[in-house]
Structure 1
Amino acid sequence: MDIILVPGFWLDASSWEEVTPALVAAGHTVHPLTLPGLESRETSRTGIGLRTHIDAVIEKVDSLEGKVFLVGHSGGGAIIHGVVDSRPDRVARAIYVDSGPLGEGGVINDELPDDGDDIPLPPWEGFEDADLVDLTDELREKFRARAIPEPRGVAYDQQHLHDVRRYDIPATVIACEFPSSMLNQMMDAGHPFTEELARIRDVELVDLPTGHWPQFTKPAELSAAILKAVERTDQGRPA
């Protein structure tokens, strides 16, 4: 199967480098993406918005045959949900890594401090303690060395959705910062953060306790969780 990996903010395709080997070893074709504006620190991010990133992933989907699996980390969750909405007939399952689907009119995070068209990686003091669990000093140093400013428009633009068939696509949420029990409580209470997720007909919640960047802190466990989600989908298909 084709698995498309969409990184979260400040990261490019290389951020998946410790996750992909296990997926490839299991026989899958893996497509880690570097999204527009994340090619380098010197790249212009003018005019790049949320839809730009959604369209870039759609382009990859359209270049492949058959159904694909979409994996989105953090802000990448909003991006893959936009792709599910645009190509519901092409997605076997959407896998949200410490993220979830962003509903109509929502924004990923318009409170991040910007510098013109760029949103640089904030200082660590700007993150919650739960974000940084297991992110050692060494990992923080490596992360900051590789971090590329995020295009402001991606964080600030509203999500726009059009096809209710998106609710028919199975979803897996790999819960890292907050346990699945909390997500279940939020869905039951109708919390705005999980409102779109609660509308999806087949949702699987998986716990992977760590901070917000499991591709760095627990890559082997993340690979295993992704593989289980893929296998669950394959087993559920008619022979």
Structure 2
Amino acid sequence: MDIILIPGLWLDASSWSDVSSDLERAGHRVHPLTMPGVGEPAERSSGIGISDWVEAAVAAVDAVVDTAGGPVVVVGHSGGGNVAWGVADARPDAVSRVVFVDTVPPPSGMGISEFDVVDGVIPFPGWSHFPAEDVDDLDEATRARTEPLTASVPARVPTDPIDLPSGGRHRVPVTMLMGGFDQQTLESELAEWGPYADEFRAIDDVEVVRIGSGHWPQFSVPGRLATLIDAAAARR
């Protein structure tokens, strides 16, 4: 199976290295992406928004399908889940499954989040910025190793509303690999999130699997994450 791996904010293709190795050993062809404008100064990235990230990921899917001739699995971590959902909406017949990694499918018109803009870009705010449940499974060695891998993202990307016009995404099967939530807990949380709950309920085929990790399982439990992605890719 061809698997497209979309990183979240501040990360590039290298953030998937450990997961990619395990997936390749399982027999998959893996395509980790670096999104446009990551690490670029404002003068080169100010015009880049979430739609450009979606277009880049759609182009990657198209290239794989043109070469391999079959549908692909699209994986999105954190804010990369918005991109993955945009791909599913644009190419529902080319995507066999979307796998969300500790994030949820966004409704049309919603952004990722807001972060401080510095010199026209959004730098990684540091591990201490995030709540304990997101980072407690990242030990000091892992934090020290991974923080230098982060880079700024274009200022518009986190706040741009995602445009999902087709509705075709709802017929693409979905696996949600959640750090600490099982399906019952997630559905209870989503009940408070208005349009996010409506988006979740609109999906024809969706499963929720608890990872048992913080927000960055590709760093804390890459082997476990790869096993769960492999299992999701095998479902029909």
- Separation (CA, whole Å) in 1 of partners of 2:119 and 2:51: 19
Point out where structure 1 has 5 or more consecutive residues left out of the alignment: 234-239
Q: 2:148 maps to what in 1?
A: 145
Pick the aligned partner of 1:69 from 73, 81, 98. Answer: 73
Amino acid corresponding to residue 154 of structure 1 in structure 2 = V
Two-structure CA RMSD over aligned residues (Å): 1.6
Q: What is the Cα deviation at residue 193 of structure 1?
A: 3.6
CA contact (8 A) 1:10 1:148 kept: yes
Q: Which stretch shifts more, 181-190 or 50-59?
A: 181-190
Q: 1:118-156 CA deviation, whole Å, 9 max, x = no partner?
A: 111113332111111211111111222111001111101
Q: What is the correspondence of 1:12-51 to structure 2 with a 5 Å cutoff?
A: 12-38=12-38, 40=39, 44-51=44-51
2:176 is paired with a residue of what secondary structure? Answer: strand
CA contact (8 A) 1:179 1:209 kept: no
Amino acid corresponding to residue 156 of structure 2 in structure 1 = G
Q: 1:172 maps to what in 2?
A: 175
Q: 1:91 maps to what in 2?
A: 95
Pick the aligned partner of 1:117 from 116, 120, 125. Answer: 120
Q: Which stretch shifts more, 188-197 or 55-64?
A: 188-197
Identical residues among aligned pairs (%): 39
Q: What is the Cα deviation at residue 12 of structure 1?
A: 0.3
Pick the aligned partner of 2:109 from 100, 105, 112. Answer: 105
Amino acid corresponding to residue 201 of structure 1 in structure 2 = D
Q: 1:83-115 CA deviation, whole Å, 9 max, x = no partner?
A: 111111110000000012111110100x21111
Q: What is the Cα deviation at residue 57 of structure 1?
A: 0.4
Q: 1:226 maps to what in 2?
A: 229
Q: 1:144 to 1:189 in 2, by over 3 A?
A: closer
1:81 is paired with a residue of what secondary structure? Answer: helix
Q: What is the Cα deviation at residue 78 of structure 1?
A: 0.3
Q: What is the Cα deviation at residue 23 of structure 1?
A: 1.1
Amino acid corresponding to residue 53 of structure 1 in structure 2 = W
Q: Please give the TM-score of this superposition, normalised by the length of structure 1.
A: 0.91
Aligned pair count reads 231
Q: What is the Cα deviation at residue 214 of structure 1?
A: 0.2
Q: 2:189 maps to what in 1?
A: 186
CA contact (8 A) 2:40 2:153 kept: no
CA contact (8 A) 1:67 1:89 kept: yes
Q: 1:146-192 CA deviation, whole Å, 9 max, x = no partner?
A: 11001111101011111122110000000104343211223456644
Q: Does 1:80 find its partner at 2:117? A: no
2:230 is paired with a residue of what secondary structure? Answer: helix
Point out where structure 2 has 5 or more consecutive residues left out of the alignment: none
Q: Please give the TM-score of this superposition, normalised by the length of structure 2.
A: 0.92
- Separation (CA, whole Å) in 1 of partners of 2:96 and 2:158: 26
- Separation (CA, whole Å) in 1 of partners of 2:100 and 2:20: 16
Amino acid corresponding to residue 130 of structure 1 in structure 2 = E
